[in-house]
Amino acid sequence: MSFDSKSVPSARSLTLALDRLRGEKMITQITIDEVEKLIKTSPEQAIFDWKSDFTPPTDDEKRGELIKDISAIANAITTSYGYIIYGVDPRRSDPILGVSVRYDDAKIQQLIKGKIEPPVKILYYEVTAGLRAVGVLQIIPSRSRPHIIRTDIGKVRKGQIVIRRGSSTDGADINDLFEFFYGQHSIYF
C-alpha cells in the first residue's frame, strides 16, 4: 500500500481539526508588523493593554498584578483574542521600545496555574524588531466566564472577579454577572 503525499494531512491541518472537534481555538502568533499596526491603529481598550516594559513577576505584588490583568482581559473577551503587549509606547513616533528582560511562556503558565478558575488559556512569546524584542501575552477568547481569582496574592484577593473596561481594570458588577451567565456568549444557557 502506498501513500500519496497529497492525501496525507499536514500536522497543522490535523491540529486545527482536533481543535474544532474540541471547540478550542488554536493560538497563532502575531508578527512584529501586526504588533506595530495594532499599536498605531488601535487605542488601549478591553482587549488590548500596552505596557512599556515587562517586569518579571518576582514578588507577590507583581504576580498579583499579572494574574489580575490576565483575568480581567479574559472576562472582557468572548469572540476575539486579547493581548498584553510589552515593550511598546503608542505615544512615541517609534512605538517599539523593546523589553529589558526576556521571559518564558512556561514560567507564566506555571505562575497562573491554579490561580484563576476556570483556567485561562494564554501564550507568551516574543517577536523581534531588529535588536529589540516585544513581549506578547495572547489570551484565548473564553465563554467560560467569569474567571475568578482563586488566591490572595499581592493586592488581589481570593474570590475577586475583575474585568477590563476600556483601558482600565474594574471589579465586576451585577450587569457583568448577568452577561456572564445569561448573555449571548454564555456557555451556561
Closest to 122 in 3D by CA, of 49, 38, 32, 14: 49
C-alpha cell at 150: 482563586
Q: What is the pLDDT of residues 38-53, one digit of tens each?
A: 888 888 899 999 999 9
- pLDDT above 70 coverage of the chain, percent: 86
Per-residue pLDDT at 106 exceeds 90: yes
Residue 66 pLDDT:
97
Residue 3 pLDDT:
46
The band of 23, judged by pLDDT with boundaries at 50, 70 and 90, is low
Per-residue pLDDT at 124 exceeds 90: yes
Q: What is the pLDDT of residues 2-15, one digit of tens each?
A: 444 455 555 555 55
The band of 79, judged by pLDDT with boundaries at 50, 70 and 90, is confident
- Angstrom distance (rounded) from CA 97 to CA 113: 30
Residue 5 pLDDT:
47
Average pLDDT across the chain, whole number: 88
Residue 15 pLDDT:
53
Reported as type and span, the H/E element at residue 117 is: strand 116-117
